[in-house]
Structure 1
Amino acid sequence: MTPLISALQLQEQLADVLLIDCRHDLANPEAGRLAYAEGHLPGAYFLHLDDDLSGLKTGANGRHPLPDPQVLADKLADMGMSRSRRVVAYDAQGGMYAARLWWLLRWLGHDHVQVLDGGMAAWQGALVKDLPKPVVAEFVAELRPALMVGVEEVLANIKLPIFTVVDARSPSRFMGEGETMDPVGGHIPGAINRFFQNNLQEDGRFKSAEVLKAEWQQRLAGFDASHTVQQCGSGVTACHNLLALEVAGLSGARLYAGSWSEWCADAARPVA
């Protein structure tokens, strides 16, 4: 299954998928929920980045820690999720939030998941305000811990490099300039930068697999993508880079879910 689905393909297959609206705005956390109420794709459910796609914050585990896997699995089951059900996630932000759900489902052991390429802007069909009628199913998480690394592994990697850390934040935030989201500016020592927005064309759709592969291989400068760990500010847009790598056919990269917001919460960790 390709990681992306076009709006035309989705329109033809709408009855066969579990559709999930992931729209969000970091500056206005209720914006996605309000937008969903105003109109969403037919049959779509809504999952909120903070409430559903993230777990409890402790002040030391980042701004968007991973959710409890079984809690998320139960929410999905209440929407009709099963092992055989195909999921399509969409947003209105170039896939930056839909990609989070895409990665989370793979982490839960479910590969039948795609992201709507171009999101809401690409959709040419009708929008509805009706809430879908859930058909409760059974979905049990089969966790894949190998898809991620923890903060201690990233810390150890600085002294004895095994993988390359790739930061998905903007170049200015990577350089510690104009940091507004986190209390400390800068990046993890040894990390390189690939802004997640560079995965997209001007129309908000992903670049072709060939272009993405060429750009990523140039950026990695000989490093294998499977030897990379993707991070960002809080583990959200890093998933966009992971999705882009899958589109490019460069599989095997892992996620540092805590990302910069977890890293900089401890003053003892080095900053570049």
Structure 2
Amino acid sequence: MSRVLITASELAESLQGQLPPRVLDCRARLGDRDAGLRLWEAGHVPGSLHLDLDRDLATEPGQCGRHPLPSSGDFAATLQRLGISPTVPVVVLDDMGGQLAAARAWWMLAVWAGHPDVRVLDGGLHAWQEEGGELVLGLEPLPEPSRWQPTFDGRACMSADDVFSGRELKLDARSEERFRGEAEPIDAVAGHIPGAVCRPSAANLTETGRFKAPETLDAELPHGEAIVAYCGSGVTACHNILAYAIAGRPKPRLYPGSWSEWIRDPSRPVARG
């Protein structure tokens, strides 16, 4: 098992160990800003804290897309509030195979902020329950705040201008129908960035909602000298970046604004088909 993933049984064992991980529940639903908190309140892994896609992992939508990255200062404050530091292991989970929004949390913590020990629960909450893990109700006490001041890696991201002028392979994590412009349920314009290739994030998972084996991912994931990952709003794109890490391949950079930012400038080209 790649070190960026943890199984439900491994999580259960580690929670009983001398240095239990900080478990962050990242469940979310696009179009419903309060769904993640409601899901957490309805039952969560004991001791886990809610990490909100719209409020903690993004800032307000606007010209930079539907889920722009928060400022480094705001995200550092979130990590401090949750008592996270480099000496505290972190496990992130959701109920969508990592797509909403555990992979985004993993990327922000491990890749952008440089935390050395962040793992995604493979199979998410479903795997936890299948292993007999209990769910609890009620609020969890916040830990003692940390004083961690991460050194953020700006090179892990690309701007719209960089994507427009760069030669990186553009990897689109949306469904094939959205990529081809046949359906667009969320954004105002259908299609994709010219020259992009489609790798739906769901293709990284087996029918059980767990990640495919590293060798399978390595055989399936597109190759490129340099790759930039995007999607609708920079969330499921992180799932593809995580898949590259599981496969043992160099991690693509992230275009956080993604399609929802790209289409805000009518001078940027759009491809269909």
Shift of 1:40: 0.4
Task: Find out whether 1:99 has 2:87 as its counterpart.
Answer: no
Shift of 1:114: 0.6
Aligned to 2:187: 182
Name the SS for the 2:229 alignment partner: strand
The residue identity in structure 2 corresponding to 1:126 is E
Shift of 1:35: 1.1
2:72 aligned to 66, 69, 74, which one? 69
Shift of 1:194: 0.4
Task: Find out whether 1:210 has 2:218 as its counterpart.
Answer: no
2:53 aligned to 49, 55, 59, which one? 49
Unmatched 5+ residue regions in structure 2? none
The residue identity in structure 2 corresponding to 1:31 is A
Distance in 1 (alpha carbons) for counterparts of 2:65 and 2:153: 21
Q: Is the 8 A contact 2:23 2:92 kept in 1?
A: yes
Q: Is the 8 A contact 2:214 2:247 kept in 1?
A: yes
Aligned to 1:126: 134
TM-score (norm 1): 0.93
Query: CA separation of 1:252/1:92 partners in 2, compared to 1, >3 Å: closer, same or farther?
Result: closer
Q: Is the 8 A contact 2:86 2:116 kept in 1?
A: no
Q: Is the 8 A contact 2:46 2:136 kept in 1?
A: yes
Q: Is the 8 A contact 1:209 1:249 kept in 2?
A: yes
Shift of 1:252: 3.1
Deviations 1:219-244 (A, max 9, x none): 33xx24xx100000000000000000
Aligned to 1:6: 7
Distance in 2 (alpha carbons) for counterparts of 1:73 and 1:112: 16
Q: Is the 8 A contact 1:55 1:65 kept in 2?
A: yes
Shift of 1:200: 0.1
Distance in 2 (alpha carbons) for counterparts of 1:101 and 1:193: 22
Distance in 2 (alpha carbons) for counterparts of 1:131 and 1:33: 11
Aligned to 1:140: 149
Name the SS for the 2:239 alignment partner: helix
Distance in 2 (alpha carbons) for counterparts of 1:4 and 1:153: 31
Distance in 1 (alpha carbons) for counterparts of 2:201 and 2:6: 19
Task: Find out whether 1:151 has 2:160 as its counterpart.
Answer: yes
Name the SS for the 2:228 alignment partner: strand
The residue identity in structure 2 corresponding to 1:247 is I
Deviations 1:173-226 (A, max 9, x none): 00111111100001001111100000000000000101100111xx33xx24xx
Task: Find out whether 1:168 has 2:169 as its counterpart.
Answer: no
Shift of 1:168: 0.4
Aligned to 1:259: 258
- Corresponding residue pairs, total: 261
Distance in 1 (alpha carbons) for counterparts of 2:73 and 2:214: 33
Q: Is the 8 A contact 2:60 2:66 kept in 1?
A: no
Distance in 2 (alpha carbons) for counterparts of 1:210 and 1:138: 39
Q: Is the 8 A contact 1:70 1:141 kept in 2?
A: no
Name the SS for the 1:149 alignment partner: coil
Aligned to 1:36: 40
The residue identity in structure 2 corresponding to 1:131 is L
The residue identity in structure 1 corresponding to 2:4 is P
What CA RMSD, in Å, does the superposition of the two structures yield over aligned residues?
1.2
Distance in 1 (alpha carbons) for counterparts of 2:71 and 2:46: 28
Shift of 1:132: 2.4
Aligned to 2:85: 82
Aligned to 1:116: 121
Unmatched 5+ residue regions in structure 1? none
Runs of 4+ in 1 over 4 A off after TM superposition: none
